[in-house]
Amino acid sequence: MSSLTYTTDPTGPGQQASETYHYSQSVILPSGIVKSQIDLAFANVDRVLQSHGLRGWEDVYLWRSYAVGMDEAMQYLVPKIRERVPAHRPVWTALSVPRLGLEKMLIEIEVEAFAPLK
């Protein structure tokens, strides 16, 4: 995984253990991973709702977000929802979780939408 930076404190006892047991004390994730997952999740919501005859995010009245790393996710979620739903403010429950269904998932979005009568 060349896009990740693996680090170990060179001044502490962790350095020797890292060399002996072949592990790192921390991993630095590149910026943009959470943002790209949020962009994809928002696009998926639009696609699914539109495939059922709704307009997309415009018809969402409630949404829940589950995020691994809430602080970073909020930096992208707030501007994204403002961009996608400028005409109203859906009810939002934002939950910080330690892990999602798949190991690499950092964000999950669940929505409830209203289909107006035609």
Whether the CB-CB separation of 37 and 66 falls below 8 Å is answered with: no
pLDDT digits (tens, 9 = 90+) for 8-57: 777 777 777 778 888 776 666 566 689 999 999 999 999 999 989 999 99
82 to 6, 32, 86, 102: CA distances (angstroms): 35, 19, 5, 28
Distance CA 95, CA 67 (A): 6
Residue 109: is its pLDDT beyond 90?
Answer: yes
Residue 1: is its pLDDT beyond 60?
Answer: no
Q: How many CA atoms lie within 13 A of 8 on its CB side?
A: 15
Show the domains of the chain with their CATH numbers: 1-30 (no CATH), 31-113 (3.30.1330.40)
Is the C-alpha dihedral spanning 115, 83, 63, 31 positive or negative?
positive
